A and B are shown apart, each in its own frame.
Chain A
Amino acid sequence: MRTLNVSVLTDAVKTLCMEANYDLGDDVIQSLRTWKEKEESPTGREVLDKILENAAIAGKERVPLCQDTGFAVVFVEVGQDVHFTGGDFQEAIHEGVRQGYQEGYLRKSIVSDPIERKNTGDNTPAVIHTDIVPGEKVRVILAPKGGGSENMSEVKMMAPAAGIEGVKSFVVDRVRRSGANPCPPVIVGVGIGGTFEKCAQIAKRALLRPVGSRHSDPYYAALEEELLDMINRLGIGPQGFGGRCTALDVHIEVHPCHIASFPVSVNMQCHVSRHREVIL
């Protein structure tokens, strides 16, 4: 049994909130650089150039890449041999978000009630997904999620008869209908299977994979590449101004499902793909 004071969790979340919002991942930067060379549209190349310049400014000046510093989505994998002391586990995470968004000059974008819409003023609460895993470590992944791309996401309960072609047309059509709204170039998280809520959750998890990485199953790896090609034939391009580079990548996650069900989900992610993690 390992004892861990929840203040360690608060400090970790606070730091991750700032780092995730200031520093664009190397995988995204590398992909944007590659696309800057390949993009056929002159306006598209200019947009990619400005996105890269933005990342350099944000990283150097320690200011947020995007003004929408997102909903703080936190994935925590807790080793079953860890015993938290010193306070409430979830409140410790919310406190880390509170401190990180306040001290990091990050925008507070959360309203307490979806109808009344009053800003909570400190970007809390976080959305917390907790898994209990073997061991005595705690892995914390913080993924701030912007509203523009989240709004273009969808879960569809398809009939099993729709099959693989149904998946392809749903995913590609979701990107086509989103146009410029989710700030392309996007990263497309796809969930196939599970229940209604599991399907959405695995699409979100899929967004945590590095750009350029492929699914471990060759079937789904090939499907990711095929979908990426189909999406980049749409012509939407950087910021929707027209061009080849509509998506930097497509990541699929799969889960077993009910004999009657075939849920498919798309979680859209803008080019400001933010996620940072730490192991405690």
Chain B
Amino acid sequence: MPKPKSITVPLSDEAIEDLRIGDAVLISGVVYTGRDSAHKRLLDALDRGEQLPVDLTGQIIYYAGPAPAKPGHPIGSIGPTTSYRMDPYAPRLIARGLKGMIGKGNRSSEVIEALQQYKAVYFGAIGGAAALMAKSVKNAEVVAFEDLGPEAIRRLEVKDFPAVVVNDCHGGDLYKEGMETYRRD
């Protein structure tokens, strides 16, 4: 595996254009957690013409709901949840400036098209390696929807968070290409 690329949030269009499927990346900066219920509330807010509780321009959403933090730890174990459940919501957030998503599993054609149209990227993190990924989180605070518990939106400060580019802004799909490369009939 080639040396990982270090990238910093917020993501510029140039940084995104430089990413190709299969690239290992180490993400540093701020990422926001958000999953099913938080996405529904974000989109409901947009429908009502309200401001979002966090400015997502240039930002990354991590599809994750952490385990509770033990005393002395900024966060509990935190790995990705399955992304397809956020597919109905993602294109609208991408159109409003969201630049990256971290999760696991296939995205819909609408999401993949939005990545190309608006220059954004989908990263896969290692599902189930949640204790390891918590090590990359240096600070965490709930910034919206605290009543949702593990599903609240958290602002995470991360350092060298490991992920792999699954869908880039050039139309590439690692899940498809990886499977074709290693399939044996």
Contact = CB atoms under 8 A, between A and B. Distances in A.
Interface of A: 40-43, 45-47, 50-51, 53-54, 57-58, 61, 63-69, 105-109, 117, 119, 121, 147-148, 151, 179-181, 183, 233-237, 239-244, 270-272
B88 to A, nearest CB: 16
22 contacts: A43-B1, A50-B129, A50-B162, A54-B129, A54-B132, A57-B132, A57-B135, A61-B131, A67-B77, A67-B79, A69-B67, A105-B69, A147-B81, A148-B105, A180-B106, A236-B182, A237-B179, A239-B127, A240-B104, A240-B124, A241-B124, A242-B178
Contacts of A235: 178-184
B19 to A, nearest CB: 15
B81 A68 contact: yes
Interface of B: 1, 22, 24, 37, 64-70, 73, 76-79, 81-82, 84, 104-106, 124, 126-132, 134-135, 148-150, 162, 164, 166, 174-175, 177-185
Q: Is the interface of A mostly helix, strand, loop or mixed?
A: loop
Nearest to B73: A63
Nearest to A57: B131
A109 B128 contact: no
Contacts of A41: 178, 181-182
A95 B22 CA distance: 45
Nearest to A58: B131
Contacts of A107: 65-68, 76, 150
Given A181-B105, A240-B178, A242-B174, A66 B128 contact: yes
A225 B59 CA distance: 46
B177 to A, nearest CB: 7
B134 A51 contact: no
B80 to A, nearest CB: 9
